[in-house]
Structure 1
């Protein structure tokens, strides 16, 4: 069980961390997504900071379990908000969203089960 917990936590942290970096460096993909869902570009940096905090929180959760649970729950809420933004503009191409959401939801579930 520990191996699955560790692998999934590290994968979720890496995945959300890469998304955070893309937002923070001003990569074109987050800008294109923001345009698609009609979100002002001024929100890209705060979204990147939230993703980065979630990624760091998942890693910190390896030492302090409560932080891992809170970080995973926060990321699940973040991606539910992203789903709302996509559905609001009738964007149904949700494959990338599904990868992020399901990974974070699985990380939350396995963290709660393991701890």
Structure 2
């Protein structure tokens, strides 16, 4: 296991965890755009839980690689869905935001 893999994986987990926490705390800068994209408020706990599970899974993957692989794939699919939601809402200027969170996950998967 390389140092680069560990650093990138911990960074990806921290970013996903931060994003999950922002959803759980209903940060206005997260919740308002999601409402603008047409995401129902009732989905927020599930979406936050998915990101939190992905973050924990990435960290667990440092010890059990298959868990990290599955968590990474799940997070990539999550953020791909976020990009689709942003595109459907025609908020093209917001497309980079989910991509910024997905990038370290993709890098961790590539380094694994």
What's the CA shift string for 1:66-105, capped at 9, x where partnerless? Answer: 0000000000000011111011111112222221121211
Alpha-carbon distance in 1 for matches of 2:97, 2:80: 13
Aligned to 1:49: 49
Structure 2: unaligned runs, 5 residues or longer: none
What's the CA shift string for 1:15-50, capped at 9, x where partnerless? Answer: 000001111122112211212211111111110000
Structure 1: unaligned runs, 5 residues or longer: none
**TM-score normalised by length of structure 2:** 0.93
Alpha-carbon distance in 1 for matches of 2:81, 2:97: 14
1:66 equivalent in alignment to 2:73: no
Aligned to 1:101: 102
Aligned to 1:34: 34
**TM-score normalised by length of structure 1:** 0.91
Alpha-carbon distance in 1 for matches of 2:92, 2:63: 38
Q: CA RMSD in A?
A: 1.1
